[in-house]
Amino acid sequence: MMFSVTDTIVAIATPPGRGGIGVVRLSGPAACDIVRGLITHDGALQPRHATLTRLRSHAETASFGVAGDVDRRALTIDHGVVTFFPAPHSYTGEDVVELSGHGSPVVLGAIVASAAGAGARLAEPGEFTLRAFLNGRIDLMQAEAVGDLIDAATPLQARAAFDQLDGTLTRTIADIDATLFDLIARLEASVDFPGEGYHFVEAGAVALAIDGLIDRTRALLADARRGRLIREGLQIAIVGEPNVGKSSLFNALVGSARAIVTDVPGTTRDLVTEVVDLDGLRVTLVDTAGLRDTTDPIEVEGVARSHQAVAVADLVLSVEDQSRPRSNGSDSSEEREPFRRADWLATRASKVLYVANKADLAPAWRDDRVVAVSAVTGRGLDVLHRRIAAALDVDLQRDRPSITNVRHIAIVERAQEALMRAHAAALPENGSMPEEFVLADLADARAALEEISGRRATEDLLAHIFARFCVGK
Ligand SMILES: Nc1nc2c(ncn2[C@@H]2O[C@H](COP(=O)(O)OP(=O)(O)OP(=O)(O)O)[C@@H](O)[C@H]2O)c(=O)[nH]1
Ligand SMILES: [Mg+2]
């Protein structure tokens, strides 16, 4: 059913809940016919013209309490605008009709129900975009970019997704593929006319051409880590002993009083998470329970969760209270171990940034290695932001990376490996293996690239990719 494209689908395209306007979208061969029954306007629908009309819903009159009368009656329920996008120049490539009414879940729900009563099927998640892909309006990278754009939590994420929707990666991959195709064609000609030897393409030239392709995949992959960070975001866990101000710092970074703050040590007992835009990066901040030995069963569980948060975080902010002597009592020693948990953190966390909080109070110790901040006054938070970006090693000022998606990264890596095998086989100093060997590896590289664009996507892959979309997209 997921891949049926012969029927007409319907869904609310705007987010759940109330809004100024709400849009119901239909796509498929019967879209216009079905909509006829839902509007009072009875002229032909002009392609791509907004037409003001009344929207009707077909209600079972019985449900309105008129006993015995089960006629379906059309009730005018809203004023709206209807727009018809004829195939093939629509979002899905099929006939699409959009009905905009006021953003009332009741009105929009009634319109969808009436459309379903008239023969439309309720759309599956992502099915409009899936149809756009199946009808060749967009490739798989662009379909994935639609999902990324909708999910973007920072302007940087949105721009990276839009670039892909706009086709930047599509074109880069298509360029590599075109060169590959040309090379394969010439090598095949040499195989088909063996008498001519390498006449169609000389062995050294093959190796050189493949080398150029490897360079292009390398350039794509070079920026991939940054791209992935932009797309997927990362996790930062705030850990430390009780009462040092972890939750206060969390709230200061989030910009709202999300986590409970009290002067009672052991206030936070569970992980509190919030997604924030940290200088363009999508960061999931995690506030944790203060680390201490305790017998309180709730707190014991909280501390266990703090440990888990440390294990999965991309960066840990280890927070101390600068207004109190360090708990290991070593603050007077020259050779002091900076932090009691430093060793422990070093073994569990991928990266640690040391933070001294409560810098608005008189300091009980100093240490150049820590970032001094005050969660209360906001002092030092700008420095902390910069140190976080530096610790994560992401240069956000540079151009947007063209590759951001792990699926694409894995496939480009595979294509690159196949190209390297082909290169080794083609090298004259390796005795220039027969064209067949080179060809097999080049074909592998091409097959990989076709998986990115979706030309070779399996149903499982498509189901997996579109399942994360919401209904109506
Ligand atoms: N003066 C000052 N007080 C702070 C600062 N940050 C936090 N506090 C105070 O320190 C106390 C503890 O703050 P929390 O944010 O609850 O500390 P926590 O580390 O989350 O504590 P637990 O959840 O119990 O582990 C509260 O009374 C805060 O108002 C700061 O920068 N300056
Ligand atoms: Mg707390």
Tokens at residue 61, please?
Answer: 């009159």
CA of 284 to the centre of ligand 1 (A): 21
- Specify whether the backbone of 333 is left (phi greater than 0), alpha (psi in -120 to 50) or beta: beta
Residue 434's identity, in one-letter code, is P
CA of 297 to the centre of ligand 2 (A): 17
Q: Is-contact 238 283, C-beta < 8 A? A: no
Beginning with the edge strand found earlier in the chain, give each strand of the sheet holding 9-12 in spatial order. 50-60, 72-85, 96-103, 19-27, 9-12, 121-122
Contacts of 315 (CB under 8 A, 6+ apart): 234, 235, 236, 237, 349, 350, 351, 352, 353, 388, 391, 392
Q: What CA–CA distance (Å, rounded) separates 160 from 164?
A: 7
Residue 251 near ligand 1, beta carbon < 6 Å: no
Residue 360 near ligand 1, beta carbon < 6 Å: yes
Residue 284 near ligand 1, beta carbon < 6 Å: no
| Mutation test residue for ligand 1: of 241, 243, 258, 377, the one with most atoms within 8 Å of CB | 243
Tracing tokens 């569980």 back to the chain, one arrives at 301
Specify which residues 100 forms β-bridges with. 23, 81
Specify which residues 353 forms β-bridges with. 317
Q: What CA–CA distance (Å, rounded) separates 387 from 18?
A: 41
Q: Is-contact 206 187, C-beta < 8 A? A: yes
H helix runs in 42-118, sequence order: 105-117
Q: What CA–CA distance (Å, rounded) separates 356 from 365?
A: 10
CA of 246 to the centre of ligand 1 (A): 6
For strands 72-85 and 96-103, give the pairing: antiparallel
Burial (CB < 10 A; 0-12, 13-18, 19+), residue 121, is middle
- Tens place of pLDDT for every residue, the chain, 473 residues? 456 778 999 999 999 889 999 999 999 999 999 999 999 998 889 999 999 999 998 865 444 444 444 455 678 889 999 999 999 999 999 999 999 999 999 999 999 999 999 999 999 999 999 999 999 999 999 999 999 999 888 888 898 899 999 988 899 999 999 999 999 988 888 777 766 555 566 767 888 999 999 999 999 998 888 888 888 889 999 999 999 999 999 999 999 999 999 999 999 999 999 999 887 888 999 999 999 888 899 999 999 999 999 989 999 999 999 999 885 544 444 333 445 566 677 777 778 999 999 999 999 999 988 999 999 999 999 999 989 988 887 766 666 677 888 899 999 999 999 999 999 988 877 666 677 888 999 999 999 999 998 888 888 888 888 888 888 88
Q: How is residue 210 annotated by DSSP?
A: H
| Mutation test residue for ligand 1: of 261, 321, 381, the one with most atoms within 8 Å of CB | 261
